[in-house]
Amino acid sequence: MIVAHLKPPYYAVIFTTIIANNAEGYLKTAQRMETLAKLQKGYLGIESARNEIGITVSYWQTLDDILHWKNNVEHVLARNLGREKWYTQYQLRICKVEREYGFLK
């Protein structure tokens, strides 16, 4: 689902990944992280797609909200598992969204 009608400015965290061959436990943890993120202060929404490359974009009100999410204890543990077990590569980008528009049929 596409997150629509957010009111700029807000922030987008773009998390791009390549999954290793051993992805045991990955899906369950990813689902838990999405559920947990939704409970965090400043969370606005999430979009995700996966083929050869996974891209997850989460939206946040402030940079402080992103920092608090980054430092969430469960999120830290999941991130460490990702580095040790699930990802062969990842890149994280944080962007300020100053304008948005879209189309819906």
- The pLDDT, as a whole number, for residue 21 is 85
Domain coordinates in residue numbering, the chain: 10-97
Fold of the 10-97 domain: Alpha-Beta Plaits (3.30.70)
> How many CB atoms lie under 10 A from the CB of residue 12?
20
Whether the predicted pLDDT of 64 surpasses 90: yes
Are the C-beta atoms of residues 94 and 11 closer than 8 Å to each other?
A: yes
- Tell me the one-letter amino acid at 45: G
Instruction: Report the percent of the chain where pLDDT is more than 70.
Output: 100
| pTM, to two decimals | 0.93
Whether the predicted pLDDT of 12 surpasses 90: yes
Sign of the Cα torsion 76, 78, 84, 88 reads negative
What does the radius of gyration of the chain's CA atoms come to, in whole angstroms? Answer: 14
Please state the rounded mean pLDDT for residues 74-102. Answer: 95
Whether the predicted pLDDT of 7 surpasses 90: yes
